[in-house]
Amino acid sequence: MADLWNDLLHQQYEASLATLNHCLENGPDGAWQGKVVNLTFDQAVFHTLFFTDYYLGKTPDDLKQQAYHRQHADFFGDYEEMEPRVQVQRYRKESLRDYLQFCRTKAKETLAAESAADLAAPCAFPPKDFSRAELHFYNVRHIQHHAAQLIMRLRLDYQVHTPWFGSGWPG
């Protein structure tokens, strides 16, 4: 049964990340610095990927220990995402493309390694008090939430149409 859940979760991560990728690739230059709620477009993409990466880890401490983070220290800077303050760092499309691919691979590898016991266990991200399985659903919903904000900006300001991304659809 864990294989079924892992496969379903992976498909939902992939569909959500494909939608985010569409926004990243189709955001015109004018949109890149424009506001998306309280962030700029590039910061909203980074924020979404950052927390995707964060919650795919087993514990909060895993984030900064990853080789990807050590190899891209300038990209992550002082981890302003973890602080209750206004973000100031800006991001290039190329760097975000690379980070998105990292998150796609991490999602696939993480889910392939999750056992039924792992999914049923409490997540290790206080103050969240739900299972690891529910953390994955929470994470996918977070990606979808911010992708929808980006889609709205692209649609209203630039008439960019966003197709529906589902299981098995490229993106």
DSSP 25-41: HH--HHHHTSEETTEEH
Buried b (16+ CB within 10 A) or exposed e, 46-58: bbbbbbbbbbbbe
d(CA 129, CA 114) in angstroms, rounded, equals: 19
Domains of the chain: 2-158 (1.20.120.450)
Sign (positive/negative) of CA torsion 90, 142, 11, 133? positive
pLDDT at residue 171 in the model:
47
Rounded mean pLDDT, 147-161:
96
How many angstroms separate the first and last alpha carbons of the chain? 28
CA-wise closest residue to 76 among 105, 50, 45: 50
**What single-letter amino acid sits at 100?**
L
As beta bridge partners, residue 36 has: 39
Of the pLDDT bands very low, low, confident and very high (cuts 50, 70, 90), residue 166 is: confident
3-state class of 131 per DSSP?
Answer: strand
Average pLDDT of the chain to the nearest whole number: 94
| pLDDT tens per residue, range 85-139 | 999 999 999 999 999 999 999 999 999 999 999 999 999 999 999 999 999 999 9
